[in-house]
Amino acid sequence: MHWTATELEVVALSLRVALVGTLASLPLAVLVALALARGRFWGRSLLNAFVHLPLVLPPVVTGYVLLRLFGRHGAIGEWLGDHLGVVFAFRWTGAALAAAVMGFPLMVRAIRLAIENVDHGLEDAAATLGASPAWTLATITLPLALPGVIAGMIIAFAKALGEFGATIMFVSNIPGETQTLALAIFSLIETPGAEASVMRLVWLSIAVSFVALIASEALARRVSRGRA
């Protein structure tokens, strides 16, 4: 199987976008999942609905909202560009942002379920022995919820790898800059004689996603055995 330089570039960009989007959103996902799992506050249901909104909205709507907020003249994007030199619109960083937003609800849900399954008795025992809430979280809750955290990261990564609608709306389809696997396949389908390239990228997408899910299950089981 012969891979062209363009195809390899697409693969490398897709992996970078998915990885950066997943890692950048992980800390916030843990905090939100913790708030939803353990918090009792007014507006909890609203927060839960807001977090899961990207799952039910058309992806192009999410991309348009990102464009209005983080575009060069957006409410947030203009300030970031002028003061910090950070630009998202029509850049690979924007593709990573779109991927992070679309995968965020899946990551939060997996982490939240894992935290809810942690034995409260262990946390209460740590508090009784004088452990602070932060120390209990770092040494009891998160280690026990680690399989769920890993599963959430892998699911979000797989989602980010295949993201299309929000990405093309927010950062367009620019070869070498924002053209990820899904966008490249979309472009190649309309290109005469590109069937071989389409099939290579399609099979690669399937393979990477499949391996990611298998790796997630294997890591979660390994962590669970080590915890037992």
Report the pLDDT value the prediction gives residue 17, as an integer from 0 to 100. Answer: 93
Q: What is the pTM of this model?
A: 0.86
Residue of 225, 216, 221, 214 lying closest to 152 (CA atoms): 216
| Distance (Å, whole) CA 95 – CA 43 | 30
Q: What is the pLDDT of residues 16-75, one digit of tens each?
A: 999 999 999 999 999 999 999 887 878 888 999 999 999 999 999 999 999 999 988 888
Amino acid letter for position 36: L
48 vs 223 pLDDT, higher one: 48
pLDDT over 70 at 224, yes or no: no
Report the pLDDT value the prediction gives residue 28, as an integer from 0 to 100. Answer: 95
Quote the tokens at residue 17.
């976008």
Phi then psi for residue 156, to 5 deg, are -65, -40
pLDDT over 70 at 219, yes or no: no
Q: What is the pLDDT of residues 81-134, one digit of tens each?
A: 888 888 898 899 999 999 999 999 999 998 888 888 887 777 778 777 777 777
- The second-level CATH assignment, the architecture, of 5-227 is Orthogonal Bundle (1.10)
| Distance (Å, whole) CA 144 – CA 97 | 29
